[in-house]
Structure 1
């Protein structure tokens, strides 16, 4: 403990800590674990993680609060995701406003138990540390603390998705935006449309590096999640109190779907029968045709998606809506006839009509539509929420119009952007976004009215994987910056409106040891290790300050 009683190493930082009088507590092999109603999943998690790492069986207790016990209780006097963790000489008690609050308190307990508690099994001489008498009072700033992982450009194996969910939970992040479809690959099994995975999940080769690179990986590439895989992922996330936002892209970023079912494309403009899932990166010109057949097709897709992602874990369905080139619609007699039939002004309003159709369709089934901020173009669907990625502007406009917003501006929280300006950064993309840059990100723009600010329901970091071919590359781009983002999303902005980066760096010294124990291939503070570099593979670094900050 520090002189003022604050734990030196908790990430994200809690609301408050105190050091009451009394002795500490040392968990041992006789330490028991009491799980009150609703906390059973947290008890299972504690035994499987900290218990296994420290060699503690944590046998079930029959009553709460016994000497030498860890007690988990739901206490609805606390905030829904808030918790109170108390360490005394008798043991540990964690109370949460909901089962999720108890789980976040258990995550804090694991941090207090030391980096050794993040290993899979005890090492030589591992012994539980003595916990100082401590009271932690905590609750999150935002209810939406999210991370998007793009599994379309480069596929993430199911076991690595489960690992990624564990990493989100370890940082008290509670929303997993699952980017399942794009031009380069369709990653979710849809039984009524089997070609989506038979054809759409595989490409013949992949660009190696940025799209301007002249290098290719000539190996066929692909993969997808079966419906049983998806159910497993959903159950795993639910145990960790993580919601999932599945994304099915409409109407752009759809070349893989059109390659599988050519009739979905603008067949009066291009020969869609010759298409394959895209081998390159960027924005494909091939977009969905605005036909009744397309609407029915995607309604069928979404019916299976809704069955796989129940409403309690996936209240929002993401439909993309971004980067939809209108050239084919402008040249298509079918699209122009649809515009005339509906009395629309232009192609932007045609896209808006498609978005509104699915907004109504999802609302009728108890779900909410969310899309990238391009869904504002041509008029925003009444019940839709917005992922504001092109800066703050789209989010501000949506919030002022009364729509909920998740702030994820690329200038701040696109973790595919490079972390340093040095020549050794692997395949450097975009502007420099350092650990400190991410730590100083503020999701609620200054000057936003209180009414509009209330519509900023949270924030999200995005991980696009064009140049992330394997798990280690995702680790490198995500960490340690995701730890900084987690604190932005969880911890309230201080009254000074300036976060203490020096204090965060000090706490990160311990957090790096936790990441080491978890096997995370993060970017070291001193720069990439030799095996993390990618010499000779082109990126696309941009110079200067990012615009639209």
Structure 2
């Protein structure tokens, strides 16, 4: 028997094939266990547009039944399709939802279209699928700072995540180049900080700019809508507010937060910025107030506090910052970042939440509840897990989807090393060398979509897909790999993406309108990247 005869993605844990098929028709009925009504309505809404079938609810012996099963675990489901009936059973509502996603994939790809499709026989093969996720954190980080994505595009992206059984959207909401979330107590964060006068067009210090203002932000009502929309699809939204570096947009709005305290504009360049927050108690209080509003908007466990790429130069050169070190009993300027992160942690933890930061936060002592995003290779994951911290693995060489997808000269604005679908499929979020106890701290992983050079939803499609299909399978399915089998299922899955309208990268390379001729980017060789990572590893280990 082939590795899988069902074109499902991600690959389920177990499948059995049976004779016959279930035929969806205008007479098909739907029922559900009490409490599963939102999931049932979601399935009804997914099946109706392309088929034109209403799928009326029937409390009796319905054709499609959605059921809770206490014998199944969290997010676990079974799907049984026979010629006369479909049963989706889940250990919880999320499990039933994931079973419904699998059912949709068993139908013709046209089921994903949003208007009636004529001439299609809406049949699903008889089978039994038993499935559950490998990891609890199956995520995507979307940077909406460097290039703003309107709310409608966020909602569309959430739908695409749900289609792939991803469950965590990490929204990178603030940085040097913009502040994207309304904070009522500090209105200038968006009045001033959400807008920059122009945007860098290429990489490097000599790169030109487009001379065109750019900006946007989400109102608090927008955020509530995004969070609720995601929750209905069993996706948690994790906000990230950068501290104490990557903060020039905040400094443009409130200069008193900075070390130098003078007026500046929202940053128009890419790369690491030397302007950082000062370490006064008043600045800590400011960001505590910001996080209070953020926690009111985002009900999930994890609150991102950044912590990455924070230069210490301004602190070291500033007499008041050096004086603060003495006041706080700190021996090194590096300890100021640790102290600042600890203040955020204390405040956020007091509200029953957990901080989530990039692996630079490992450079100092952390509270046990701090969760680490390991992006500089897997060394941070090893270090954090061994120290008892939960970890989300997103190493740049396997999970940074702003990286170019081949060596082709036509790749748009090529960044760093090539990262192919096959490379992503080969990713294992559990680094070798961990004890079984430490392995339990690996929550899962995520793909990171930084948007310096992703300046439109069309380019987001190109950079995300189909690599995000591979990441979804890595994070859901068992660790065993079969690249030919995956490739066969992916080929079938692309027809679903076509139906949804995703402008994914073709296997042959970018289409003419996906190219960006004349913008050289910042490509690296594998050897250059390996040397850079080796330096990072040495700094982490020290």
Q: TM-score range by the shorter chain?
A: over 0.9
- Whether 1:272 and 2:262 are equivalent positions in the alignment is yes
Distance 2:339 2:454 in 1: 35
- Whether 1:51 and 2:48 are equivalent positions in the alignment is yes
SS at match of 1:42: helix
Partner of 1:504: 486
- Aligned with 2:14 (options 13, 16, 19): 16
**Structure 1 segment 101-500 matched on structure 2, within 5 A:** 101-128=95-122, 130-212=123-205, 214-267=207-260, 272-273=262-263, 275-310=264-299, 314-494=300-480, 499-500=481-482
Residue ranges of structure 1 left out of the alignment (5+ in a row): none
Distance 2:415 2:3 in 1: 42
SS at match of 1:366: coil
Equivalent pair of 1:146/1:459 in contact (CA under 8 Å): yes
Partner of 1:38: 35
- Whether 1:522 and 2:504 are equivalent positions in the alignment is yes
CA-CA distance at 1:213 after TM superposition? 5.9
Deviations 1:139-165 (A, max 9, x none): 000000010000000000000000000
Equivalent pair of 1:387/1:405 in contact (CA under 8 Å): yes
Equivalent pair of 1:210/1:466 in contact (CA under 8 Å): no
Distance 1:207 1:402 in 2: 40
Distance 2:126 2:212 in 1: 57
Q: TM-score, normalised by structure 1?
A: 0.95
Partner of 2:526: 544
Residue ranges of structure 2 left out of the alignment (5+ in a row): 535-542
Q: TM-score, normalised by structure 2?
A: 0.96
CA-CA distance at 1:210 after TM superposition? 2.4
Partner of 1:62: 59
Distance 1:210 1:30 in 2: 58
Change (3 A) 1:152 1:328: same
Equivalent pair of 1:355/1:381 in contact (CA under 8 Å): no
- Whether 1:100 and 2:94 are equivalent positions in the alignment is yes
Higher mean C-alpha displacement, 151-160 vs 116-125? 116-125
SS at match of 2:129: strand
Deviations 1:54-80 (A, max 9, x none): 2221111113x43xx111111121120
Deviations 1:270-318 (A, max 9, x none): x521x111001111111000011111111111111111112xxx11001
CA-CA distance at 1:5 after TM superposition? 8.7
Partner of 1:26: 23
SS at match of 1:136: strand
Equivalent pair of 2:6/2:106 in contact (CA under 8 Å): no
Equivalent pair of 1:211/1:280 in contact (CA under 8 Å): no
SS at match of 1:149: strand
CA-CA distance at 1:455 after TM superposition? 0.5
CA-CA distance at 1:407 after TM superposition? 0.5
Deviations 1:63-99 (A, max 9, x none): 3x43xx1111111211201100000122111011110
CA-CA distance at 1:6 after TM superposition? 3.4
CA-CA distance at 1:4 after TM superposition? 5.3
CA-CA distance at 1:336 after TM superposition? 1.1
CA-CA distance at 1:36 after TM superposition? 1.4
Distance 2:331 2:457 in 1: 46
Equivalent pair of 2:381/2:431 in contact (CA under 8 Å): no
Distance 1:136 1:369 in 2: 37
- Whether 1:82 and 2:76 are equivalent positions in the alignment is yes
Distance 2:100 2:206 in 1: 46
CA-CA distance at 1:19 after TM superposition? 1.8
Higher mean C-alpha displacement, 23-32 vs 40-49? 40-49
SS at match of 2:491: helix
Higher mean C-alpha displacement, 433-442 vs 4-13? 4-13
Partner of 2:538: none
Distance 2:146 2:375 in 1: 18
Q: How many residues get paired?
A: 531
Equivalent pair of 2:325/2:336 in contact (CA under 8 Å): yes
Deviations 1:2-58 (A, max 9, x none): x459343100000010024x5321010111111212322221211222222222211
CA-CA distance at 1:212 after TM superposition? 4.6
Distance 1:161 1:444 in 2: 29
Partner of 2:539: none
